[in-house]
Amino acid sequence: MHSNGDIPGADEPTPGARTRKPAAGASRGFFRDADADHPVLITEAATSLEEQHRARVRRYMFIMAFRIPCLILAAVAYSAFENPLISVLILAASVPLPWIAVLIANDRPPRAKDEPSRWDGRRDQIALEARGHKTIE
């Protein structure tokens, strides 16, 4: 079974077929070449939690992928230069990578400018009220 990309001339329109073209001045949507085959983005909804989780896992794996090459590079540097200082510096650079990866992966997406503030106004309250107290003499 072949896909349309494997058959020569399959992407060409058949003679007499109608193609839908956007009206002049119409929104082209999310894609540059929007047509009947591509959907138009019509919502401002945030990405789903599943997509956010997938992106965070990708970020974590990308950062942690640098740790193993750092260990190998430290071993190669020690055998090539016979200088433990270079290897220790490379290893020291790889030590904070797990911490950085966790911090970046657990970060939420940036807030939109039009997202409302969730502050409930407690900032305006004074922690200790300044009022007169009765004293015992």
Percent above pLDDT 90 for the chain = 36
The number of residues making up the chain comes to 137
- What pLDDT score does 136 carry? 81
Instruction: Give the amino acid at 2.
Output: H
Distance CA 128, CA 137 (A): 24
- What pLDDT score does 93 carry? 93
Distance CA 38, CA 31 (A): 7
Distance CA 21, CA 31 (A): 14
Residue 112's Cα: distance from chain center in Å? Answer: 14
Inform me whether the pLDDT recorded for 28 exceeds 80. no
Residue 137's Cα: distance from chain center in Å? Answer: 66
pLDDT digits (tens, 9 = 90+) for 84-137: 999 999 999 999 999 999 999 898 877 777 777 666 666 566 666 666 777 787
Mean pLDDT value across the chain = 75
- What pLDDT score does 60 carry? 94
- What pLDDT score does 109 carry? 78
Residue 103 structure tokens: 């911090």
Residues whose CB falls within 8 Å of the CB of residue 63, separated by 6 or more in sequence, listed in order: 97, 100, 101, 104, 105
- What pLDDT score does 102 carry? 93
Q: 27 or 105: whose pLDDT is higher?
A: 105
